[in-house]
A and B are shown apart, each in its own frame.
Chain A
Amino acid sequence: MRPERVQETPSSPAHKIEGHGRNEVRLILPATPTAVRRALGSLRAGLCAQDLDAEELGTIELVLAEVLNNVVEHAYENSGRGTIEVRVNTGDRGLYFTVQDEGKPMPENMPPLGSQVPQDCDIADLPEGGFGWFLIRELVKDLFYLRVDEVNKVTFRLAVGNLQNTV
């Protein structure tokens, strides 16, 4: 991960990148649901130079919405305070994401497992939450969580775009 700030720079398709790319999309947003919605639009625009189809863009938006809304709701407990930093890098095996916040640590120091609908579940017993982390875990690869110096850092990869290597 390179520290310098490079905003929404399109990468040359002919340029082969080892591991994390040098073209980084970076965004810092306030931890509110409306700011998350706007940020998803900006990131979508920032990623338009990548060779991504509509389904891949939908998956990226879904995963980021889940990760960011979890920060808003749980790390910052819907306080409306705090910021979230998102960085996206292009690599040989897809897009590499880093999401950082300074809110509360994850319970048990790990991302929750989440849940899907139990088999033969009565309507009255259907869960209304817990799907977010289930969806994230279904859709991403290489999910890691680190808590360092009061900062939550979540990294993951999405195997989308022109993959150079088989995943």
Chain B
Amino acid sequence: MEFKTSEYAGTLLVQVGCTRIDAACAIQFKDAVRDLADSEQDRIVLDLSMVDFLDSSGLGAVVAALKAIGPNKTLQLAGLTPTVKKVFHLTRMDSVFTIHATATDAIEGLANAS
């Protein structure tokens, strides 16, 4: 699972480098996000703009990561591509996560919480 991280004041921005989060890689994804909880930053933003496919296993992995990260940190999402956005919308998971249109928005604080 390829993650590229960069730190801003209080925020760890994580560029997810894979194009799919599916049943074949959901467990690795979940473990990799959980490891990010060791970061000193309180807010973790997953930039999913390279992910063009996410199925229910991938969605479950994102939810598991949210739980694993604990109550003292925030996990937010940015850059959802159309099919990924559809999965979050249909399952109403877009009411659980703060979702930013782009990683830049997330960093500049232009939260587009839906």
A58–B90 CA distance with the chains assembled, in angstroms? 14
Known contacts being A58-B53, A129-B56, A135-B56, is A33 close to B24, with CB within 8 Å? Answer: yes
Q: Given that A128-B64, A132-B56 are contacting pairs, would A138 and B90 also be in contact in the complex, using a CB cutoff of 8 Å?
A: yes
- Which range contains the number of B residues in contact with the other chain? 20 to 34
In the complex formed, the residue of B with least CB distance to A37 is B24
Complex contact B86–A59 (CB within 8 A): yes
As a 0/1 sequence over residues 60 to 80 of chain A, the CB contacts with chain B under 8 angstroms (1 = contact) are: 011001100100110000000
B20 touches A37 (CB 8 A): yes
Residues of B near any A CB (own CB < 8 A):
20, 22-24, 52-53, 55-57, 59-60, 63-64, 66-67, 71, 82-83, 86-87, 90-93, 95-96
Q: List 30 A-B contacts (CB under 8 A).
A: A33-B22, A34-B24, A36-B24, A37-B24, A55-B83, A58-B53, A58-B83, A59-B86, A61-B53, A61-B83, A62-B53, A62-B83, A65-B55, A66-B55, A66-B56, A72-B23, A116-B92, A117-B96, A123-B66, A126-B63, A126-B66, A126-B67, A128-B63, A128-B64, A131-B91, A132-B57, A134-B90, A134-B91, A135-B90, A135-B91
